[in-house]
């Protein structure tokens, strides 16, 4: 008690905001110290690159010579003089619109179903569904199934059934690429977000269901909508962010399956465009501008999802 009396009493209104902040920081310096290692790394390797990338977006930079400031030229070219970028935006949006919600709903429903199983079976089935995304490049098995060789699985079966008489180059034919890629994307999408949702279902307080039953919940759908989902909103949000960033950034798998670039740019996404300019054309300035746009698009999509999720349970 006596110690407290010795301290000078400080009133928030007496000082400027900066002074107050500094004071508070001093007070909690141990906490700042503890967060410092992470914060320094995060700042150095995340914040600084993002800012740099944003700045580079206003230059031409070939990665070997000093950048030249060109202000908005990159953005003007992006929107007015780059048909392929517009194509990439279209593809990305189509792709994100299908696989984002698709994978999200798939994750949600599988998580819900699996949650109904007995614990031991649940663990096993979870592993089964999660396996494709743990094992890294496992999607490459689709190149075997849909190999362009006449002895590839799909071609061999179709030939045997008499449906085709010349092998189809599945991953080289515009007609098949996008559907196949979307299928593969959905197949691999039961990843971290799926696990998060399973965890979310587990934390729902059982007593709420009883309360719900008393309050007039009639069926499982209502239970899901009014009790389970609102209760696990944090998990839903994380999972949604993962699904969105996943859908927007789904470039590597496409490259591995159909090559770079995809025939006639039919599966060309913003990620590919960025790669193309950054690494094969040595135009990092332009690539940074693309990255900035992609970044804005993701933030926009996140805000949208936030809004939507707020409607859950209402």
Partner 1 sequence: MSKIKKPLKRIASVLLALLILVTGCGLFDTGITASALVESVNGSDSLVRTSLSEIRSVLTSMSYAAYLADHANLQNATKTVEIDISKCNAENTTATYQYVDGGEYGADGKILLTADDGKVSFDVEIPDDAFYCIEIEYWTGNAVVSDSSGNVVAEGKSTNIERIILIDGAVPFKEARSIKLSRSWYDSYYVVNDDYKCVYDETGKKISYGTDDPLFVESVRDQTQDARIFQRDNNGNEMKPAKTLSPEWVTVKVQDSSGYNNGALRFAFTKGSHVLTLSTIREPVAIKSIRLVPDDDIPAYSDYIASYTAQGVKDYSGSETFKIQAEYPTHTSDKTIYQLNDRTSAITEPQDAALQRLNSIGGDKWTYVGQWVEYDVVVPEDGFYNIVLRYKQSMMEGMYVSRKIYINGEVPFAEALNCRFNYKDSWQVGGLYDGLTVKEGESFKFYLKKGVNNIKFEVVLGDMSSILSRVETILTSSNAYYRKILMLTGPDPDEYRDYGFEKIMPDVLKGLKKAAADLYQISADLTAITGVTGSNNGTLERVALVFERMGKQPDKIAATLDTMKDYLAALGSWLTSNQSQPLTLDYMVVQPVDAELPDAEAGFFKNLGSEFSKFIASFFSDYNSISSTTEIDEETLKATENAAIEVWTASSRDQAQIIKRLVDDDFMEKYNIPVTVKLVIGGTLLPATLAGTGPDVAMNIDQTTPVNYAIRSAVLSLNSEEHGYNFNDFSRFKDNPAYSGILDKVSTFDEVFARFAPSAKTPVTLYGETYALPVTMSFPMMFYRKDIFVEMGLEVPNNWDEFRDVSSALQARNLNVGFPTGTGGSMILMYQVDEPLYDMGNYDYYLTQYPDLFGYDEATGKYTKNVYYDDEGNVIPKTDGMTINLDSNASLAAFKQVCQYFTSYDFPVSYALADRFRDGTMPLAVADYAGTYNTLIVFAPEIAGLWEFTPLPGTVLEDGKTIDNTTVASISTMMMMRSVSDDNAFSAWIFMQWWTSAEIQSSFANEMEALLGPSAKQATANLEALATMSWSKDEMDNLAAQFNAVECTPEFPGSYIIGRYTSFAFLDVYNDHANPVTEMQSYIVNINSELSRKRKEFGLLVAEDFAALEAEAQENN
User: Which residues make up the interface to partner 1 (CB under 8 A)?
Assistant: 42, 46, 49-50, 60, 62-65, 147-152, 156, 159-160, 166-167, 169, 172-175, 237-238, 241-242, 245-246, 248-249, 251-252, 255-256, 259-261, 263-264, 271, 274-276, 278-282, 291, 294-295, 298-299, 302, 306
Give the span between the Cα atoms of 198 and 232, in whole angstroms: 10
Identity of the residue, 7 or 81, whose beta carbon is nearer to partner 1 in the bound complex: 81
Identity of the residue, 198 or 244, whose beta carbon is nearer to partner 1 in the bound complex: 244
- Residue 294: CB minimum distance to partner 1, A: 8
- Residue 255: CB minimum distance to partner 1, A: 6
Identity of the residue, 229 or 287, whose beta carbon is nearer to partner 1 in the bound complex: 287
- Which residues fall within 8 angstroms of residue 62, CB to CB, at 6 or more apart? 282, 283, 284
Give the Å distances, CA to CA, from 89 to 94, 182, 266, 277, 289: 8, 16, 12, 15, 14
Q: Which residue has the tokens 């199983």?
A: 117
Identity of the residue, 200 or 261, whose beta carbon is nearer to partner 1 in the bound complex: 261
Q: Count of residues for the chain?
A: 314
Give the span between the Cα atoms of 240 and 106, in whole angstroms: 12
- Three-state DSSP at 278 gives helix
The candidate with the shortest Cα–Cα distance to 176, out of 93, 100, 266, is: 266
Q: Which two structure tokens, joined as six digits, stand for 294?
A: 């992609």
Identity of the residue, 27 or 175, whose beta carbon is nearer to partner 1 in the bound complex: 175
- Residue 117: CB minimum distance to partner 1, A: 30
- Residue 194: CB minimum distance to partner 1, A: 16
- Residue 22: CB minimum distance to partner 1, A: 20
């Amino acid at each position: 008690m006596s110690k407290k009396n010795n301290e000078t009493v400080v009133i928030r209104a007496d000082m400027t905001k900066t002074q107050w902040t500094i004071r508070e920081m001093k007070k909690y310096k141990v906490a700042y110290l503890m967060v410092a290692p992470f914060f320094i790394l995060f700042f150095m390797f995340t914040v600084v690159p993002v800012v740099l990338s944003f700045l580079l977006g206003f230059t031409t930079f070939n990665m070997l010579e000093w950048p030249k400031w060109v202000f908005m030229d990159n953005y003007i070219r992006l929107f007015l003089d780059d048909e392929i970028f517009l194509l990439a935006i279209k593809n990305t949006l189509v792709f994100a619109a299908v696989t984002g919600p698709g994978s999200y709903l798939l994750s949600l429903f599988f998580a819900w179903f699996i949650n109904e199983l007995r614990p031991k079976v649940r663990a096993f089935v979870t592993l089964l569904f999660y396996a494709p995304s743990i094992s890294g490049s496992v999607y490459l098995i689709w190149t075997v199934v849909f190999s362009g060789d006449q002895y590839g699985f799909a071609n061999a079966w179709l030939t045997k059934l008499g449906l085709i008489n010349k092998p189809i180059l599945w991953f080289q034919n515009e007609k098949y690429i996008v559907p196949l890629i979307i299928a593969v994307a959905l197949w691999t999408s039961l990843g971290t977000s799926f696990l998060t949702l399973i965890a979310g279902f587990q934390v729902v307080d059982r007593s709420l269901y009883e309360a719900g039953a008393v309050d007039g919940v009639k069926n499982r759908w209502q239970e899901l909508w009014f009790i389970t989902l609102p209760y696990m909103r944090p998990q839903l949000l994380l999972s949604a962010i993962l699904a969105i960033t996943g859908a927007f950034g789904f470039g590597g798998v496409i490259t591995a399956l159909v090559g770079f670039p995809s025939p006639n740019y039919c599966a060309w996404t913003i990620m590919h465009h960025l790669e193309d300019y950054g690494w094969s054309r040595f135009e990092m300035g332009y690539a940074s501008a693309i990255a900035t746009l992609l970044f804005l698009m993701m933030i926009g999509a996140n805000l949208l999802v936030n809004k939507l999720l707020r409607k859950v349970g209402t």
